[in-house]
Chains A and B, each alone.
Chain A
Amino acid sequence: MKADLLARLQAAQADKQPVALITRLSDGLQLLWPQDEAPAPLVEAARTALADDAAQNLDYEGAAWFVHPHNPPLRLIIVGAVHIAQALVPMAQPLGFAVTVVDPRRAWATADRFPGITLIHEWTDDAMAQLAPDSRTAVVTLTHDPKLDDPALDVSLKSAAFYIGALGSRRTHAKRVARLTEMGHGAEALARIKSPVGLDIEAVTAAEIGLSIIAEIVAVRRGAALGTRARPPVAA
């Protein structure tokens, strides 16, 4: 790899731009798509690689090519700068998540409690609208306060977020489902919410709950059976 191509690849990553590194294996010739032009079959492979977040191999004009996607990091949006959030953040980062914490309560969402983490102090509906969750985003609400959690869930349910989790007991969640139903969400949409949140590992401490949540997010992301564990349907 040439130093200038590595620099361009790193610049794209710093700008959170999805790029595909295209390599001809016979001689190491490399292109960075979409910055560099590429023949149509390679462009098609690059699009597929980025969409599926999976590398592609193809033969083009008698040579073997490797197409290596470099997508921006997955995002984890945590609503509620609470103790469990403090436990969750350092577990999520090494798993490849860029973490944002949303909490209008400035006493909780401080740089002291969340060093180096993007903190948003706006009301949760405005904050979530700005953050615009997409299919590479997980959202988890932890405030336990309907005034803060509900607007965030409302925005998340209208988004393509691949994971939506909400802290709370079954009873709390039944009430939440009733409120969100009144806001116009149907049963199918509400079934997207993982609550009680996290894998069932009998978690007790903040760190254990954080572990159960991040493990569930990974399970859902990877399509594991654990990520689809049945929760009893909640009547609205």
Chain B
Amino acid sequence: MSETSEDILATASAWAAQGETVALATVVQTWGSSPRPPGSRLAMTASGKLAGSVSGGCIEGAVADAARQTMASGTPQVLDFGITDERAWEVGLACGGKVKVFVEKLA
């Protein structure tokens, strides 16, 4: 976990140094068969660059949408994904798991 997290942080840091607006998403809790463990990170820029992952790819789009809001407002968010939240987020985990993701701006 720590090894991949480290790479994502280095990438996020490098983007920030280039003047990009950067947000970080981190898996904080999982239930059932979610593909990425707590601590997994996804870094994003306002210009649309992506590094890392918080799922097998099924929720990254929704996380990126939330990250754009957080990059604009500076306010962090906690996102819940899972079967029970399908209607709210219009995405869910095909694997049937649930995952909680923290989104923050790198400021």
Contacts and interface: CB of A to CB of B under 8 A. Distances in A.
Size band of the B side of the interface? 20 to 34
Interface centre among B3, B16, B104 (most CB of A within 10 A): B3
Nearest to B28: A66
B29 interface: yes
A126 B18 CA distance: 45
B39 interface: yes
Given A23-B102, A28-B76, A69 B39 contact: yes
A70 B13 contact: no
Contacts, number: 73
Contacts of A176: none
A96 interface: yes
B2 A96 contact: yes
Interface string A1-36: 111001101100100000000010101100000000
B13 A10 contact: yes
A55 B106 contact: no
A173 interface: no
Contact of B102 (A13, A53, A66): A66
A160 interface: no
- Chain B interface helix/strand/loop/mixed: mixed
A91 to B, nearest CB: 14
A3 B1 CA distance: 22
B39 A1 contact: no
Given A2-B107, A3-B106, A66-B26, A53 B2 contact: yes
Nearest to B17: A3
A1 B24 contact: yes
Given A66-B28, A69-B39, A25 B78 contact: yes
A69 B2 contact: yes
Contacts of B29: 57, 66
Nearest to B76: A28
Nearest to A55: B38
B13 A68 contact: no
13 contacts: A1-B107, A3-B106, A10-B13, A13-B9, A25-B28, A28-B75, A55-B1, A55-B28, A66-B26, A68-B26, A69-B2, A73-B2, A96-B3
